[in-house]
Every structure is written in structure tokens, then in C-alpha cells.
Structure 1
């Protein structure tokens, strides 16, 4: 394995880090309180090419940085308000990956340039009220009528839902076939007849990233907007989610690294019993355990990203790294709260925000329990 990156990419990573540390992070509390990322920050993200991380250069994107390059950049994005990070990550991950990898040439030329520039925002809609972890049980239907498909159903907990312009929506095209041949992916625009945004959710964390229902009532989708082959939507959704999980792990690394830095500085400044708490073995052990979780997650994420770039099948590995990273993030942020003590529980310090933001990582893009199911099923196939 080789994790060496080009000098050009190193420069981009440093630029993103500077942007995050100097422009986004100073207003992270404002983003949380207002549940809004200021337009000037979004515009700067556009100018830096952050909306085009997954998109080839020929369509206006950053180009060939690969999954490893994306993960190294995601790590820097994870160093600040997770709501901002999620807005970008959902767009560049599960929002646009499907169009890049499965889209026809016409679809790519129609959608990718505006998505790469950030002029338009992307989202991925699989989850439904009755189909979360059991994704194969989705009820949204797509019935072909002439040169169009008519979609009916409700999606919920859709990241970027209220703000996105282009959606990858998964629907049932042949109920009798189920997940094996009966589910199809579609590219759906927010202005298609019959499409509307439903309830906008009020969340514990990830403020600045908006989540909502998507309601499809006789939504008309042109036949040419089928994404991939008819009937292959479920397996394609799993492939899209697998890569999204690798990126999510890298974002967790960035957040954990920031928490370690904040905790270390606080431990050196906070005095109890006449000396800095960093001199106490209990605090030192917490810092050491945080550092080990970070290093293990970082290199795990890089390895799986490298495998993706080699064209390897990573269903098991992506599930494993998402599981490990989200659980490690929970351990690290819990230790950070403990090191900060009462101050870690106060909204004036960023630790409280990270604590709220971290919890969702064990739920979205597949719960920890679902990741274990995936890992176990792959082990049984390989070794059984």
C-alpha cells in the first residue's frame, strides 16, 4: 500500500485545512445556533472546488484525486462544525457518486457540471418511514407510463433534502422481484411535477445540515433519468453507500483529531490541586487512548480508500471502517467531555457540540448493528 499523495494534492489539503481552521471553525458555534451555514462560507467552498471532489475534471470537478485523496480532504473538513462537513460530504459522497459511476454520458453532461461547481446541491434518498435498516423493504414505487416513470412514496431523514436540487431516488419497479431485480435508481430534480419537500426535521446535532422528508405524488420522471440499469437499484445503492462509509470514517478522523488537540490544550491550562490536570496519570491515559483510536481509524480509512482506488470490492471493509470509526468517535468525544469536566457540558465550548454531532455517526449510512450484519455475512461467504 502506498499512501503518498502528489505535491498538488498536498497543497490543496493545506488550503482546505487553512479554510476550515481560519474561516469555518471560528463561526462553528454560530452555525450551530442559527442552523445555517453562511452563504459566504458556501461560496468559498465552491471556489475551493469542494463540491467537485468526486467529479472528473472533464465535467468541471477536481479530477483524479481518488478515494484516498478525498479521504485526506474529508479529514480536514471533519475538523469543524459537523453540520458543514455533512452538507459537503453528503453531496460529494452518496449524492454525486452514483451519477459519476452509473450515469450515461448524457446524464453526466447534464448534471455534473452544476454539481461540481456547487451551483446545484445533490442528495441521496433511500430511507423511508418503514424502511431504514431494512432498506430492501422500501415502498416507494415507480410505474412506467409511456416515456416516463411515475413515482409515489415518501422518503425521510434525507440529508440535504430541503436544499438539494438533484436527487438519486431508489424506488420499486417490480415488487415481485424484490431487491434482486425489482428496485431501480432514478435521477430526480426538485422541479419535476409531483415532487415536494415534506417535514424539515429538528435534530439533536449536525445543525447547518438540513434533513427532511421527500414526498413523491405522481412524480413524473423521464425514462432517460433511470440511473444504471432497471432492476439494479438495490445493489447499486449498496455500492454507493459503501464508498460513502469510507468517506464518513475519514470525516470522523478529522473530528477526533480536533478533539484531541482541544483536550490537550485544555488539560495543560486547567489547574487543579495546584498543577495542570495534564500532569495526572488518569488524564494522560485518556489522551493516550484518544490518540490510539485516531491513529487506528486514520490508517484503517486510508487502507480501505486505497483498496477502492485499486478497484477492489470493499463491501466488508467499508462496513468495518464505518463501524470502527463511528464507535471510536464516540469513545474519543466522551473522553473529551470528561477531560473538560463541567465545561465540556456547556454550550459555550465546542465539546458539547461535537458530543451531539458524534452520536448520529453510529446511525446514519447504516447503523453499527447493520455494519456488523454486513461484515458477518461477508465473512460467512468468504470462509464458510
Structure 2
């Protein structure tokens, strides 16, 4: 048979028609395409336990969902309300928080008392610090999540022991679980007592054999009958061994998580009821608390709790017997709110303190007759300190604001926890590099040494950072944020076969269209350098390019995620390095979004722009590196080359922040300004010479007042007016200048004041040969004394 020249288009048209019919006639499409795909999908779909499913489905999807969809709605970002404090909350921050900070001397806490002083404990209890999340009808303060965050941030600039002691009762713990799930009787009894500090709470989850894998705790309760308060009641005999439990040594009541079993069927037919949370008084018979861990000199109360076959009635279960077995779901639903606030806030406070003190120190401290903050090498460290602190604070505020909107942002909370604590580690390490020998010798005048010791605590707790990055951010984010993936998984697991096929078909072809659109959008934005990307809201002109670039990265990320899931299939769960890099892209986009939101919310402060610019450019570059890391490790190399050309048709668009920009950021840290005050707004700054932070503030002011006088002295020195005078050294040259008539008496007193404060700032503590060990009188910690 021969074909004419005109038969080719006819054949093509016929093929197109057949494909069109195949795709549009849904019953035919389901039979010929969807059904075999569904069968294959079920084969590669990873098995999921009930606890994994609860963890996966916990919380809500918020702004990260926009970033995952490839086309962020910037108007939506800017319409999120900016968190604000009420008059009561602001007054509390200005008055009660200031006083709480004043009552704590961190050196005494960490070196002498190994605890907060009695006066501080009494104050934070009496003033309601432990009941910030408890409603007013129960005697609590009923603060917003943002106010909670502000308080924790401020306290963290003074002492980690203080901030943690306040933070833990207000994050994941008995109060929050009682509020959401407790019986009315439990709420009415415990919440007023928790609000007033009569009860001090803790929550016991972590086991020596199941740290980050908390669902595998070996702690067990057996439903049985036993004696309680002179009566035989239905209860449970519980054995547990927990560690790392904050406030356990001083708690009066603690939440306890364990697996509950009912071998005799006293509650029903189910033998393994599941993870259960109970509320246990510390003095209940058989409970063992009081011993302490030593958490890197942070000196907050942390220790183990144990019990062996301790009988407790079923009424101890939070929510009563009906909530038996619901503990894991309870924990997952409440975790996001606490993690959104506690670690981001405490680590941002640490960063603010470092930015203010290290910046001031770098201007006060001189080497080679120049302030160390003006050396370019030191500027690099100061730049990171300033820009990271700006971004961390933006992330903390926006994430806390999400909680106030009613969100339980599980993915966002993981991003905030991981990236804020990691940036805090960099900030403190950079600070230690700047202050040098001053930082490595502990003592009352060392303002950064304890923070350096304590940084790993934030990295470790509330989900170890390694696992948060490699398993949670993308592993959970991909399923929760993707518009079709979770629907596909649910359809594949639907026991009703026909309905599952219908739902899968709808999700599958929606997914195909979604991936195709994002691939084309990513290519178009790449070819045009994102210059034609629309920004559907009014933004600061100096920031517009970042919105456009972030739109490009969002489309690229959405496409790369789908290609990765297609290439790797079910193995993506095991490819933790690739999953971590994909999570890094999502996280950097969220961090940039928070920074842009902050810049707009604060009124486009041009003086602060360098901080935002540097932080965003740095995050863009990190995201680009993460793209490279994913593509470079694709198992299918041909696919990797194709994807790279789609995403980066002209090569890499992002470069490192410039030295000139970094110089602008560093300069903002070493002189008083409105920008410096905004950057470190929550810092507790006692303006007394004997306070290490206060000494730096006063010395910075004195240094600036003396700079013109010092320049006059340096000029005279270069002219040879002090030649051969042995007193013309860095310490005594002001006196020599006065005697030589270079400066007058008033100027000399300014220099003398500067020198006095400078010497206090650069002083390094020293101690008797035995460090007072022989005469040390370390008081025993008393649970009730607080």
C-alpha cells in the first residue's frame, strides 16, 4: 500500500483524535490508563503505620502550600495580619519581663546556684508566666501566640534557664493537652493551679530507646483493677523510663506517654489500645523524679522520671477513659503550635543578644589602632550575625502569627525550628570568633560563652535537626502541601475499589496537568530571567526582583519535586539526602517570604534594607545550591540533564551577596541607630557598668564620644610629638596628650571614661587557684522552695 503526501497529516490527525478520545472519555481512560497506573502505584506506595499517618496528617497547610504550588499568591502573603500586642501584653513585656530578667544573674544561675534563684521562681509563678496560654476564666493570662513568642524571646536574651522554665509549661505539655482534650473536671482542677504556679508541669515522652522515634516508646501500661484511695477501681499498671524531661526535677504533675494494652478485654475487644497520655502527680506512689541531667551549663531543670508497675486510675488519662489510645494524635495535633514558638523564639533571643553585644564589642575593642569591627575579615562575621538575626526574627514573628490565625502549621514549624536554630548556631559561632579570647574564658563578664555552650540544645530538642531536615520538611511537606499527592495516596488505599479508581483518575490527571504547567512555567521564567513574572500586589520597588525570582524558584521547585517523586517512586522515603535538599529549597523560600513580609510590615524601612537584601540574596544562593544537589544526584542522568536545562536554561541566576552589601550590614551593628534598636528590640539591656551587656552599651556610647578626640591624639602621635615617651602606649596615651597640650581637661575626662568602660568590656575574669572549689557552697534544690 502506498501513502500520498497528504496522508501523513490525516494519520496524525487520527492519532490525535484517538488520544483525545482516550483522554476525554473517562470510563475508557480509567480502564486503559488509570487502572494499570494505579496497580503499579500501589506496588511502590510506601507502607505507612498508623502513627506515621497521624504525624503526616497532623496540623494544617499554610503559606508553604503556596510555595509548593509553583505560583505564590503574593497578595495573600501581604494580607496576613501583622501580629500586634494588646495593651496588657505590651505592659507585661515592658514591666514583668523586665523585672524577671533583673532578678536573674546568668553566671550565678549556671555556676553557683544551678537553678533560678528563689525570688525569680516566686516572681514568674505569681505573675502568671507559667500560664500564658491558659484562658482568663481559669486564671491564666490568655496571651496570643505572638505575645508568648515575644516573652520567650526577651527572657532568652537574659538567661536560657529563665526562658526554658517559662517556655516549657506554655508549649507542648499538660496545659495545652488539657485545654484541647481534658475533661471538665480535669480542666477545672488543674488549669487554675497551673495558671497560678501552684502546679509546675512537665511532659514525659522521650525514652532512652526511642528518642526521635517517639512512637516506638517501650513504656507500657496494662489495664487492670487495683486499689486507689481505699477503693478498688479500674485502672492501669504503668512502667516507664523517661529522660531529657524538662522541669521533671521540680514538677508537681507531669504528662506521661505510654502504650496501653488491655489483655483481659476490660475496656473492649482491642488488645493494644495505643499510645495514651496520662496526667500523674509527682508524689503518686511509685513515681520516681528529682534526679537531674546537666544540659550543657544551661542549668534549666531537666532530668529523668521512672516508675515500675505504678497503678493509676483511668481517670488519670487526659480526657478520661474515652481518650485512651488517642495520645499520639493528641501530641501530633498540639506539637506544631509549641514548636512554632518555643525554639524559634528562644534562639532568636540568643541571636539578638549576640548581635547587640558583639556589634558593640567590635566597636569598643581596638587592634592595630583601629576598631576590630572595621576589619573586613571581622565584617564578614558581623554581616552574617546581623542579616541572620533579621531573618530569624522575621521567621519567628510570621510563624507565631500563623498560630494566632488558628493554623497548626506542622511543616512551617519544622522549617522554623530547624533553620532558626541552625542560624543561631552560626550567629553565636561568628560572635565567638569576633570576641576571641574574651569568649573562651568563662566568668561573670563573659556575655557569650554560655550561649556558645548551650547552642546544641536547640539543635537537639523538639526533633533533632538532622532528622527534621532529612525526614520531615520535605517528607511531610510534599504530601501535605502538594495539591494532588495526598489525594492519590488516599485513593490508592480506598477499600472501595471502584470509588478509589475514580478518585485516583481525577487526582492523577490533575497531577499530570499540574506538573506540565509548572515545567512550562519554570522554563519560561528561566528563559526570561523571571523579569516578566507578575507580582499581584503592591511591594517595595527595591524588593520587587526578589518576588519575581522567588516565583521562578517556586515553579522550579514544584516541577523538580514531581520529577523527583516520579524518578524515585517509593524510594524517596529512603533517599534522605535528596529529600533534605528538596526540603532546603522549600525552607529557603519560606525564610525569604518571611523576610519580605517583615520588610513590608515594618513600613519599608530603607535604613534596614541592607539586612533584608543580604539575608535574601544569601538564602537564594543556598536554594540554588540545593537545586544543584538534587539534580546532581538523580539516578537517571539523562533526566537530570533535561531538568537542569529546563530550570536553568542560561545557567545559574544567583550569586553570593557582595562585599559592599556586607559592609553596609556590618556597619549597622557597630553604632547606635534606629536600625540596631529594631534588630535587637527584645534585648534586655541593663545600663549598669557591673552588667556585661550594660558595660558594652555604655562603652559604645563612650567610644563614639571619644573618637574625634582619639583622632586628634593619633594625628599628634604621627607628627612625632610623643616620641621616646614610654607612657605613650595604648593605655596611657591620653594622659601624655593632656600633658603635651594636645587635648584639654574636658577631653581627657571623656577619654578617661572611655578607657574605664573599655577596660571593663575587654576584661577577662580570673579566679583563685582552686576556683573556690574547696569552699563552694552549692545549695540543694528544693522542689517546694520555688
Normalising by structure 1, we get a TM-score of 0.93
1:152 equivalent among 239, 246, 266: 239
Q: Distance in 2 between matches of 1:57 and 1:47?
A: 15
Moved more, 167-176 or 147-156: 167-176
- What's 2:473 paired with? 375
- What's 2:463 paired with? 366
Q: 1:181 to 1:240 in 2, by over 3 A?
A: farther
- What's 2:159 paired with? 81
- What's 1:240 paired with? 334
SS at 1:173 equivalent:
strand
Alignment of 1:315-330 (within 5 A): 315-330=410-425
Alignment of 1:276-315 (within 5 A): 276-315=371-410
- Choose between structure 1 and 2: higher strand proportion: 1
Q: 1:181 to 1:148 in 2, by over 3 A?
A: closer
Q: Give how far 1:20 is off.
A: 4.6
Q: 1:317 to 1:48 in 2, by over 3 A?
A: same
Q: State the Cα deviation string for residues 344-382 of structure 1 (Å, max 9, x = none).
A: 111020311001111110101110123221212222213
Confirm whether residue 168 of structure 1 aligns to residue 258 of structure 2: no
Q: State the Cα deviation string for residues 294-344 of structure 1 (Å, max 9, x = none).
A: 221212122222222222231111111000111111011101111110111
Q: Distance in 2 between matches of 1:289 and 1:17?
A: 28
Q: Give how far 1:151 is off.
A: 1.0
Confirm whether residue 183 of structure 1 aligns to residue 275 of structure 2: yes
1:357 equivalent among 441, 454, 458: 454
**Is the contact between residue 223 and residue 262 of structure 2 (CA under 8 Å) also seen in structure 1?**
no
- What's 1:114 paired with? 193
Confirm whether residue 127 of structure 1 aligns to residue 206 of structure 2: yes
Q: State the Cα deviation string for residues 199-236 of structure 1 (Å, max 9, x = none).
A: 422232311x1221111112222212211422111122
Q: Give how far 1:10 is off.
A: 1.4
SS at 2:237 equivalent:
strand
Q: Distance in 2 between matches of 1:305 and 1:316?
A: 13
**Is the contact between residue 252 and residue 325 of structure 1 (CA under 8 Å) also seen in structure 2?**
yes
**Is the contact between residue 363 and residue 372 of structure 2 (CA under 8 Å) also seen in structure 1?**
yes
Confirm whether residue 90 of structure 1 aligns to residue 168 of structure 2: yes
Q: Give how far 1:17 is off.
A: 4.2
Q: 1:278 to 1:301 in 2, by over 3 A?
A: same
- What's 1:219 paired with? 310
Q: Distance in 1 between matches of 2:389 and 2:125?
A: 29
Q: Give how far 1:113 is off.
A: 1.4
- What's 1:105 paired with? 184
Cα RMSD, aligned residues only: 2.0
Q: State the Cα deviation string for residues 229-261 of structure 1 (Å, max 9, x = none).
A: 221111222233322212221111111101111
- What's 1:55 paired with? 134
Considering only CA atoms, is the larger Rg found in Structure 1 or Structure 2?
2
**Is the contact between residue 204 and residue 245 of structure 2 (CA under 8 Å) also seen in structure 1?**
yes
**Is the contact between residue 159 and residue 212 of structure 1 (CA under 8 Å) also seen in structure 2?**
yes
Q: Give how far 1:72 is off.
A: 1.3
SS at 1:58 equivalent:
helix
Q: Give how far 1:185 is off.
A: 0.7
**Is the contact between residue 29 and residue 350 of structure 1 (CA under 8 Å) also seen in structure 2?**
no
Q: Distance in 1 between matches of 2:400 and 2:412?
A: 10
Q: 1:133 to 1:29 in 2, by over 3 A?
A: same
Q: Distance in 2 between matches of 1:101 and 1:256?
A: 33
Moved more, 195-204 or 268-277: 195-204
The gaps in structure 2 that reach 5 residues or longer are 1-79, 226-233, 264-269, 486-786
Moved more, 42-51 or 350-359: 42-51
Q: Distance in 2 between matches of 1:248 and 1:54?
A: 16
Normalising by structure 2, we get a TM-score of 0.47
**Is the contact between residue 152 and residue 166 of structure 2 (CA under 8 Å) also seen in structure 1?**
no
Q: Distance in 1 between matches of 2:85 and 2:463?
A: 30
**Is the contact between residue 262 and residue 273 of structure 2 (CA under 8 Å) also seen in structure 1?**
no
**Is the contact between residue 192 and residue 220 of structure 1 (CA under 8 Å) also seen in structure 2?**
no
**Is the contact between residue 153 and residue 216 of structure 1 (CA under 8 Å) also seen in structure 2?**
yes
Q: Distance in 2 between matches of 1:285 and 1:278?
A: 10
Q: Give how far 1:148 is off.
A: 1.5
**Is the contact between residue 348 and residue 420 of structure 2 (CA under 8 Å) also seen in structure 1?**
yes
**Is the contact between residue 20 and residue 79 of structure 1 (CA under 8 Å) also seen in structure 2?**
no
**Is the contact between residue 130 and residue 138 of structure 1 (CA under 8 Å) also seen in structure 2?**
yes
Paired residues, what number?
Answer: 379
Moved more, 240-249 or 333-342: 240-249
Moved more, 76-85 or 332-341: 76-85
